[in-house]
């Protein structure tokens, strides 16, 4: 505990002040997180010890340097380090988060230092290093950058490079990828967008490419896209518009698996379909702002063809080398087919905001519940209290494996508090 307080005091006391020079800006944030996570009791095999609650204390410091000496050129770099104290660590929670492909030519080690017992570690990330050329007829982005697609707010079928999960607490910064991207404006509201993402060591088999067009027609934003990645070909569509004061959106993506490997295209997938592991996903939703009540309501439906309808077979999809490729290549992590995300954000009183969101597996009736309170302590200083709790029929314990009876009955619970300071 003394180590914990020493780390907190050290990082809080040494936060750099914001310095502005000619065209140069230093900004970032410091976050202090304390949380407890635990697995369901039945997520153990016969004869093995039950999982103990995981205690996690983390201090994250992110520094961002932005340089813009002239209107047509800018450069950005960012680095993040997160000293972490963890007791009773478990890797089971990684089963329920997207698998991220490493679209980086090369990188530093993920951790600067780890003690022998694994209790104290210093994970870090050199997450941004890019330059931007803003020319009259196009914008060019070169280097490590964040790339996002789609309009869906919670479960995005077209965002395959560095997707976020529904229960992610830190959604402010996406994982940076090494890429070259070019955008061509077409009129005031339309654009063409193309890019190439470099995989490990620049190998083509680990890289990706995309072309995307965004158009404004009939008061609706249309986006069409093609993405090639990991020998998959994705065709995507996004729609956004306002209807009766509500914002509505739709994302859809069809992914042809191993389309460039003829020998694999004829191999049936786990479901016995002749298209192998081809996948179709769709998300459609809406939100509405009740301005007088400072309340925003939202809902989103999600469908994933690659998911299972039988809970007992949920875990088969994610077995390495056996399960569907969408779980390893496309950032898919949900195990079922039909979902509904509903919730609200509400300004309870000035300086105090609350949010509540629930993801429902419509097949087995299980829930993933995420309540959160945010209090504004001072300018750019916020205090959060929240949780992520899975609720559903618990798994049956097998001799050598766990047999699910619901999806979110498998999920760990997490209760946390955090302080966030921006500068």
Q: What is the pLDDT of residue 261?
A: 57
Count Cβ atoms within 10 A of the Cβ of residue 378 and give its class: 0-12 exposed, 13-18 middle, 19 or more buried. exposed
Position 248 scores a pLDDT of: 97
Split at pLDDT 50, 70, 90, the class of 325 is confident
Average pLDDT value for residue range 252-280? 62
To the question of pTM greater than 0.75 for the whole model, the response is yes
Distances (CA, A) of 252 to 223, 238, 281, 340: 10, 7, 6, 16
The CA distance from 307 to 361, in Å, is 11
Question: Is 200:104 a contact under the CB 8 Å cutoff?
Answer: yes
Distance from C-alpha of 8 to C-alpha of 30, rounded to nearest angstrom: 10
Could you give all domains of the chain from N- to C-terminal order, each with its CATH number?
A: 2-422 (2.40.160.10)
- Partners of residue 176 on adjacent β-strands: none
Question: CA-to-CA distance for 92 and 89, rounded, in angstroms?
Answer: 9
The string of pLDDT tens digits covering residues 196-225 is 999 988 898 889 999 999 999 889 999 999
Lowest-pLDDT range of 30-44, 124-138, 179-193: 30-44
C-beta of residue 224 within 8 angstroms of C-beta of residue 233: no
Phi first, then psi, for residue 389 (nearest 5°) are -130, 125
- Cα–Cα nearest to 166, from 309, 368, 420: 368
Does residue 241 have a pLDDT over 60? yes
Determine what percent of the chain is predicted with pLDDT higher than 90.
Answer: 55
Confidence of residue 412 (pLDDT cuts 50, 70, 90): confident
What's residue 42's pLDDT?
Answer: 55
Task: Assess contact for 406 and 92: CB atoms under 8 A.
Answer: no
Closest CA to 103 of 27, 220, 223, 203: 203
User: Can you tell me the distance from the alpha carbon of 175 to that of 355, in angstroms, rounded to the nearest whole number?
Assistant: 25
């Amino acid at each position: 505990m003394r180590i914990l307080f020493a780390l907190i005091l050290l990082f809080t006391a040494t936060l750099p002040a914001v310095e502005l020079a000619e065209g140069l800006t230093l900004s970032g944030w410091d976050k202090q997180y304390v949380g407890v996570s635990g697995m369901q009791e039945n997520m153990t095999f016969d004869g093995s010890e039950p999982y103990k609650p995981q205690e996690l204390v983390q201090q994250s410091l992110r520094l961002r340097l932005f340089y813009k000496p002239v209107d047509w050129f800018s450069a950005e770099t960012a680095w993040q380090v997160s000293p972490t104290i963890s007791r009773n660590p478990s890797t089971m929670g990684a089963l329920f988060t997207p698998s991220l492909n490493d679209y980086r030519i090369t990188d530093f080690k993920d951790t600067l230092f780890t003690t022998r017992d694994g209790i104290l570690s210093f994970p870090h990330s050199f997450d941004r290093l890019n330059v931007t050329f803003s020319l009259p007829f196009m914008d060019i982005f070169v280097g490590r950058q964040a790339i996002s697609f789609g309009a869906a707010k919670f479960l995005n079928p077209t965002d395959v490079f560095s997707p976020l999960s529904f229960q992610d607490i830190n959604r402010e910064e996406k994982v940076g990828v090494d890429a070259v991207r070019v955008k061509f404006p077409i009129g005031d509201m339309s654009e063409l967008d193309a890019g190439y993402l470099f995989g490990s060591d620049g190998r083509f088999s680990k890289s990706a490419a995309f072309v995307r067009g965004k158009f404004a027609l009939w008061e609706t934003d249309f986006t069409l896209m093609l993405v090639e990645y990991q020998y998959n070909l994705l065709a995507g569509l996004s729609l956004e518009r306002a209807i009766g004061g509500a914002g509505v959106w739709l994302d859809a993506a069809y992914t042809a698996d191993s389309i460039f490997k003829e020998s694999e295209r004829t191999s049936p997938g786990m479901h016995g379909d002749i298209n192998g592991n081809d996948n179709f996903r769709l998300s459609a939703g809406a939100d509405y702002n009740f301005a007088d009540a400072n309340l925003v309501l939202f809902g989103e439906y999600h469908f994933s063809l690659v998911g299972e309808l039988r809970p007992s077979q949920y875990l088969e999809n994610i077995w390495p080398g056996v399960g569907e490729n969408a779980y390893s290549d496309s950032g898919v992590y949900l195990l079922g087919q039909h979902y509904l995300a509903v919730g609200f954000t509400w300004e309870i009183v000035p300086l105090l905001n609350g949010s509540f969101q629930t993801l429902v597996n419509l097949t087995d009736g299980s829930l993933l519940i995420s309540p959160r309170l945010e209090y504004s302590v001072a300018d750019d200083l916020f205090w959060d209290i929240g949780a992520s709790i899975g609720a559903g029929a618990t798994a049956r314990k097998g001799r050598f494996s766990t047999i699910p009876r619901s999806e979110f009955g498998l999920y760990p619970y997490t209760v946390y508090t955090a302080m966030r300071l921006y500068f």
